[in-house]
Amino acid sequence: MNPAVGYLTHLADQEGVTPIHNHEPSFWLRARLVDLHSRWNTGRMLTCRHVLTQPGGVFITALWLPEVMVCTSCAVDALRLPAAADLTCDRCSAPDPKTRAVAVDEQGVIVTFGLCPDCYRREMPA
Ligand SMILES: [Zn+2]
Ligand SMILES: [Zn+2]
């Protein structure tokens, strides 16, 4: 199991977290993932030092801050958000108190983002 999947499995054991297996990314999500890859490949991403010194570690990036990739310890501070931004959908930019946090494994890196109920249904058809 790759470390990112291991971490997601650990998250999925937490209360209120729903694991979704074999999720197929929407066109919107695919485009965001491609954007993350091209940022990384062209050196347009800031990282904590652990990303460089701990190959094989679990690293996290967020669609609300795609220029930053950090390890799970640094993510607590680096990716923390003011409460209002936390409830803004990363897909349609609508503020919604029911915005849900979503995390996916993208080739060993955890990509996290928020989806309002409408966008969540688009991304995760029941
Ligand atoms: Zn770190
Ligand atoms: Zn939305």
In tens, the pLDDT along 101-116 reads 889 999 889 999 999 9
At 70, give phi and psi (nearest 5°).
-140, 165
CA of 8 to the centre of ligand 1 (A): 18
Sign of CA dihedral 4, 116, 32, 28: positive
- Tell me the whole-structure pTM to 2 decimals: 0.88
Ligand nearest to the CA of 69: 1
In tens, the pLDDT along 18-63 reads 777 788 899 999 999 999 999 999 999 999 999 989 888 899 999 9
Q: How far apart (Å, rounded) are the C-alpha atoms in residues 64 and 37?
A: 15
Share of the chain above pLDDT 90, in %: 56
CA of 93 to the centre of ligand 2 (A): 6
CA of 122 to the centre of ligand 2 (A): 9
